[in-house]
Amino acid sequence: MISPSPSAPRRRACSRRSAAESAPVHRVAGKGQGAGRRPPGFIGFIDRGTCMMWNTRMRPLAAALLLLAGSATAAADLARELDKAEQLRAQGQLGAAIIELKNALQDEPDYGPGRRLLGVLYVELGNGAEAEKELLRARRLKVRETGIALPLAEALLLQREYQRLLESVQPVSGMSMRDVADLRALRGEALLALGRQGDAEAAVKSALATDPAAPRAQIAEARLALAARHPDTARQRLQTVLSAPLPQPVEHIAQALLGDVEIMARRLPEAAKAYDRAIATGRPHQALAIQLKRGLLRIDLGDPDGARADLGAVNARLPDLPLPHFGFGLLAYRQGRYADALDSFERALQRDHENPDIHAKIAATRIALGQREQAIADLEKFLQEHPDSDPILRLLATIRLQQGDTAGAQKLLRHVLELHPDDNAVLDMLGAIALARGEAREGEPLLRRSVERDPDSAAARYRLGLGLLALGDRDNGLRELAQATQLQPGQERYEYALALGLLRSGQHAEAVAAAQRLQALWPDRNEPLLLEGIARASALDTEGASAAFERVLARSPGDPAASGGLATLDLQQGRPDKARSRYRAVLEQHPGHGATLLELAALELRLDNPEAARRALEQAVAADPEALEPRLRLA
């Protein structure tokens, strides 16, 4: 409350001029009775100058003082409201904080600090559009840019307005080193989202140089590693970030990204734990987004009840969101309920008609329902309208491969590669198709690029090794295969490919060692023993080869491959009758075995027994009427 001015009676006197004030002035005559008394009108003589001074000088001054006092009171009230909003924000009550702040701004709509705080609250609530509006208004109200730039960048990132972020938000003088680092990290994320990988790496590097301990910069570095398909590197970065205390919003971002990293690494239980922590540390809108991811993850984890609970919770809050229906479709698809899956996918499509992932899943479901032609027609129609649709191109390429149309698959995948020149999966597929088509020279540079992009990929090195072997570059081919086995020990394809590559290149001792390694990995299998027998036989170690083949026969009597190997050794040693008995032993265990009958027929012809050879070939034709070779030999 404003106290009354001490000069208030004087103001009243000046404002209520009486008749006496306007009467003639009577002089005071001498001393004595009545001396010093004010005769009528004396006040006019004494106070008229004072009243004139009040009206001309004091009244404007008093008005200014009153205005200043009122402004100070209003400012104090606004400051209290801002403090209260900040307290509510600290308690996680963002909605209540926004209401408090809006009420305060009704009386002072141009209060810049209040507009800035309102924008920050909207950022934390996930409402990028409203946040941008309030922050730009705060900027127009001359709020310092040091307090505007970082939340404005976050608001634009929420809206996926990546180009506008890059054009309109830059670090400014006066920002703290941490804020500068965070802003540069956000710019890096925007560049990454625009596909400008090199520029993104430079921005994140600059952020880390500004403040190596900035959590947002380290998170952006992890995001770059994830984009480059290096989940182990991304995990290390995020674990470093999470080892220190973090503000709750930043911890949520790190945990959510860690869940994505673990999914790429196929560490699904760890991904679920990271998502659990992200949900616990996120705002309600953030928790819903992660709950949706967790629901989709639980489908892969074989937890249909948990998946249904998560997807249902999101759908109850956001019924117009397509992803819960998409998730219900995935769940039904995994359970073989293809009609239900199609219904859910179509519900998702009603809410997001242009989404290529939904179109792809509908096509896959139609194929499962036996509606292949309609599925292909739908995909081709969508591709005509959206010729650069990545998931549709990939799915159609896969279907072409299943149909044996490698040329058609190549054409589609080459278009994908034009869109994503550094996509390792596409490079791998194109390289593998080239190898399958006998085009090793065309496939080799593609496979080499894939290895250069991801040197820790065992699959890429395996394919490159096969391509180099096909081109006759045995040393480099075997080196790539050996690296594949080192990167992923015990992977069956890689281990066998290395052993066979050593055998075919004439490195018999190394092939024997590789075969023995296979035996250690799979002691109950016959193939490693057979491979050792073949390698020893190739090295002219007849005794060692026989021992390996006999070990197979002790485990599997009449095994065609082991018996055939021993028969070959018998023939080399001039024992054709022994070889014949081995072939017949196979046929006792495996009547009609085509390869053995052909070998027996060849032996009988060599021994000048044409009738016996004919009988063997006729048995082979009877066992497999479609087989061409026995018919040709009979002819």
We report the CATH number of the domain holding residue 583 as 1.25.40.10
> Which pLDDT value is given to residue 16?
41
In a domain, 581, yes or no: yes
Domain that holds residue 627: 557-635
> Which pLDDT value is given to residue 109?
87
> Which pLDDT value is given to residue 52?
52
> Which pLDDT value is given to residue 10?
39
- Average pLDDT of the chain is 86
Cα distance between residue 528 and residue 522, in whole Å: 8
> Which pLDDT value is given to residue 85?
77
DSSP secondary structure letters along 253-296: HHHHHHHHHHHHTT-HHHHHHHHHHHHHHS-HHHHHHHHHHHHH
Over residues 606-617, mean pLDDT: 91
Q: Which of 50-59, 96-105, 374-383 has the highest mean pLDDT?
A: 374-383
Q: Is pLDDT of 575 > 80?
A: yes
Q: Is pLDDT of 9 > 70?
A: no
In a domain, 399, yes or no: no
Which has more pLDDT, 373 or 453? Answer: 373
User: Residue type at 506?
Assistant: G
Share of the chain above pLDDT 70, in %: 88
In a domain, 607, yes or no: yes
- Per-residue confidence band for 436, with pLDDT thresholds at 50, 70 and 90: confident
In a domain, 595, yes or no: yes
Over residues 227-254, mean pLDDT: 91
Instruction: Pull the structure tokens for residue 574.
Output: 């001039």
Reduced to 3 states (helix: H, G, I; strand: E, B; else coil), residue 124 is helix
Total Cβ atoms within 10 A of residue 549: 28
Give me the number of domains the chain comprises.
1
> Which pLDDT value is given to residue 55?
54
Which has more pLDDT, 127 or 370? Answer: 370
DSSP secondary structure letters along 336-364: T-HHHHHHHHHHHHHH-TT-HHHHHHHHH
Q: What is the pLDDT of residues 167-219, one digit of tens each?
A: 999 999 999 999 999 999 999 999 999 989 899 999 999 999 999 999 999 99
Q: What is the pLDDT of residues 577-598, one digit of tens each?
A: 999 999 999 999 999 999 999 9
- Per-residue confidence band for 60, with pLDDT thresholds at 50, 70 and 90: low
Over residues 54-82, mean pLDDT: 56
In a domain, 623, yes or no: yes
- Per-residue confidence band for 273, with pLDDT thresholds at 50, 70 and 90: very high
In a domain, 626, yes or no: yes
Give me Rg for the CA atoms of the chain.
Answer: 43
- Per-residue confidence band for 73, with pLDDT thresholds at 50, 70 and 90: low
- Please compute, for residue 417, the number of CA atoms within 13 A of its CA located in the half-sphere on the CB side: 19
Over residues 279-303, mean pLDDT: 89
Q: Is pLDDT of 30 > 70?
A: no
Closest CA to 322 of 282, 292, 294, 286: 292
* Chain Cα centroid distance, residue 266: 13
Q: Is pLDDT of 263 > 50?
A: yes
> Which pLDDT value is given to residue 56?
53
> Which pLDDT value is given to residue 81?
76
Q: Is pLDDT of 140 > 60?
A: yes
φ, ψ at 420 (rounded to 5°): -135, 80
pTM for the full model?
Answer: 0.60
Q: Is pLDDT of 155 > 60?
A: yes
Candidate from 339-353, 482-496, 599-613, 621-635 with smallest mean pLDDT: 621-635
Cα distance between residue 381 and residue 363, in whole Å: 12
Q: Is pLDDT of 379 > 50?
A: yes
Angle between helices 508-521 and 492-504 (to 10 degrees): 160
Contact 85/97 with Cβ under 8 angstroms? yes
Q: Is pLDDT of 44 > 50?
A: no
Which has more pLDDT, 66 or 401? Answer: 401
> Which pLDDT value is given to residue 599?
94
Cα distance between residue 93 and residue 131, in whole Å: 17
Which has more pLDDT, 287 or 280? Answer: 280
> Which pLDDT value is given to residue 531?
95
> Which pLDDT value is given to residue 420?
85
Distances (CA, A) of 147 to 8, 152, 155: 46, 9, 13
Over residues 151-180, mean pLDDT: 93
Q: Is pLDDT of 237 > 80?
A: yes
Q: Is pLDDT of 43 > 90?
A: no
Dihedral sign computed on CA atoms, order 13, 19, 22, 24: negative
In a domain, 611, yes or no: yes
Residues 6+ away with beta carbon under 8 Å from 366: 342, 372, 374, 375, 378
Residues 6+ away with beta carbon under 8 Å from 541: none
Q: Is pLDDT of 34 > 80?
A: no
**Per 3-state DSSP, what percentage of the chain is helix, strand, and coil (rounded to 5)?**
75, 0, 25
Q: Residue written as tokens 């971002």?
A: 253
Task: Supply angle C-alpha 91, 94, 100, rounded to 5.
Answer: 100
Share of the chain above pLDDT 90, in %: 63
> Which pLDDT value is given to residue 58?
55
* Chain Cα centroid distance, residue 497: 33
In a domain, 98, yes or no: no
Q: Which of 78-82, 89-93, 566-570 has the highest mean pLDDT?
A: 566-570
Environment class of residue 7 by beta-carbon count within 10 Å: exposed (0-12), middle (13-18) or buried (19+)?
middle
Closest CA to 307 of 331, 325, 326: 331
Cα distance between residue 29 and residue 39, in whole Å: 11
Q: Is pLDDT of 20 > 80?
A: no
Total Cβ atoms within 10 A of residue 69: 13
